[in-house]
Structure 1
Amino acid sequence: MRPTALITGSSRGLGAAIARELAPTHDLVLGARSAASLEAITAELPGSTSWPVDLTDYDAVAASVPVNKLNVLVHNAGIADLGTIEESSVDQWRRTFEANVIAVAELTRVLLPALRAGGGHVVLINSGAGLRANAGWGSYAASKFALRAFGDALRLEEPSLRVTSIHPGRIDTDMQREIVAGEGGNYEPSSFLKASTVARAVRTAVETPADAHPTEVVLRPTGR
């Protein structure tokens, strides 16, 4: 019987790339906000299951948990709402922490019985911003520092699980294009990591033999 992997934010970009990497070896449950957004990736990957749910609607999440046994949980969904501390509003901070930390913590909590049953591996798509904060990235970096702390605590509390924090630099995705446009810069794809490269790092972490625990993976773009 093939292992099962649930990937959030899997309709496009990095999430879709991770789904493609894991599809040959895993049964996939692909999460996103709407069923329509998942149509293309589920059609591309026959046998995958669509799980449309707003991860910040905690009652809906709890009511629709799609598995009783889970081998891999990839937390990829998140937002990047950038701005200086002077420009940032209370709502921005709340939205960022809700999407990037609280929703992750609650989905993990709800899925803990399934993860324990599957000897599961939790993969947190963090960021270079989870290791260092830059000007204009305060609320986002703070949420990613918090996500790293969540992973550290989960690793200690659940010794039967593996927990890996992936810290990629900036990735060539639609979200990155929006960020660069907001910064007023010119978009040069070769300046960023390929989504497929980060997805391969996720697969490598998942496929690490059981005698090792890959706790953190840091990737930086080379510009090549």
Structure 2
Amino acid sequence: MRLSADLLALQGRLGHRFRQPDLLLRAVTHASIGTATRPDNQRLEFLGDRVLGLVMAEALLAADPQAREGQLAPRFNALVRKETCADVAREVGLGEVLKLGRSEMLTGGRRKEALLGDAMEAVIAAVYQDAGFEAARALVLRLWGARIAAVEPDARDAKTSLQEWAQGRGMPPPAYEETGRSGPDHAPQFTVRVVLASGETAEATAGSKRVAEQAAARALLERLEREG
């Protein structure tokens, strides 16, 4: 098969020329439009998640030969989580070429973190199946390179850090509640409040509940640190 102009452009941004172009088409095909004759990217996403994990584990070990497992794990999680995959997907313009069903199109599927993150993992698997592990590793290191170099030594996400802060003081885990939703259906904004048993709270707004929860937890942590 021959790739369309938009997929040829994506191929160029990825820096990998596919010998089996159908793999790239499958990687950008969401389940909402997949059929028996047009496979979607779910199986590729499953494989790509594992390929990404192996590449990232190797890269982190090489970057810090003295780090213990307990130090490496949060860095690893920060680099492979769905939000990071979605950020990389945005950088290569993956959302622009996703093949979506009408319902996903109408609800802003091209901007959804879950869809972007899954598609990015599917692209990694497509490269792996097209040209092997070394090609997939080269792709991941090329796209994630700056993030690997800049990952925080203690890269625990904000929700985990806030939970550990609370547990260290004998409190139950923080509670998160959605306090508002605004914007159109295709681009909603969620406002989330985090509450500690001691009464401290913080709010944040973002395009997904998960990101809003992280932002609220981060805001509360920063306030707690300022107050000592």
Give TM-score scaled by structure 2 length.
0.26
Q: Which structure dedicates a bigger proportion of its chain to helix?
A: 2
Q: Which structure dedicates a bigger proportion of its chain to strand?
A: 1
The higher radius of gyration belongs to: 2
